[in-house]
Amino acid sequence: MMSRFTKAALAAALLSGTAAGCPASHASETGLPQWEQLSEAQRATLIAPVRERWNAEPGQREAMLERARRWQQMTPDERQHARRGVKRWSHMSDEQREEARALYHHMRTLEPDAREAMKAKWRGMDAAEREAWVEAHPAPHRSRERGD
């Protein structure tokens, strides 16, 4: 089953129209046709998760559109980086996700030099030190509406 975060990434890709902009070389690599060559049934299958979420979560519609706009503006390398992040996130345990949230929340406030120093410090910590750091620097509570 796809996580809500993965569905959101898929929704962003579909809403942005990037599926239609798939280069011909990529289509031939996968053996699948470009968007224009998909049947209506295939298109409906791809869009169904987006439609379902759009209808089920009206409060998230603006955020869904914004994610789609950001996705559309990304370079191919940025999109690949985002896909790797989604994949890595989906394989994390709840504890690893909590660590990642806390670290991200803290690091985003730091200047680049301090951020690099924090990364080095984090890599040097053992599991107990990381756990203590996360307890001392918890991430803010997240909204259940967003889901990830």
pLDDT of residue 20: 42
Q: What residue spans define the domains of the chain? A: 1-91, 93-140
- pLDDT (tens digit per residue) in 100-133: 999 999 999 999 999 999 999 999 999 999 999 9
Whether the Cβ atoms of residue 118 and residue 107 lie closer than 8 Å to each other:
yes
Taking residues 72-87, what's their average pLDDT?
95
Can you spell out the DSSP letters for the chain?
---HHHHHHHHHHHHHTTTTT--HHHHHHHT---GGGS-HHHHHHHHHHHHHHHHH-GGGHHHHHHHHHHHHHS-HHHHHHHHHHHHHHHT--HHHHHHHHHHHHHHTTS-HHHHHHHHHHHHH--HHHHHHHHHHSPPPPPPTTT--
**Identity of residue 54:** W
Residue in the block written with tokens 């295939």: 42
5: confidence class by pLDDT, cuts 50, 70, 90: low
pTM for this predicted structure: 0.57
User: How many whole angstroms separate alpha carbon 144 and alpha carbon 55?
Assistant: 17
Taking residues 141-146, what's their average pLDDT?
59
Give the rounded distance of the alpha carbon of 119 from its chain centre: 21
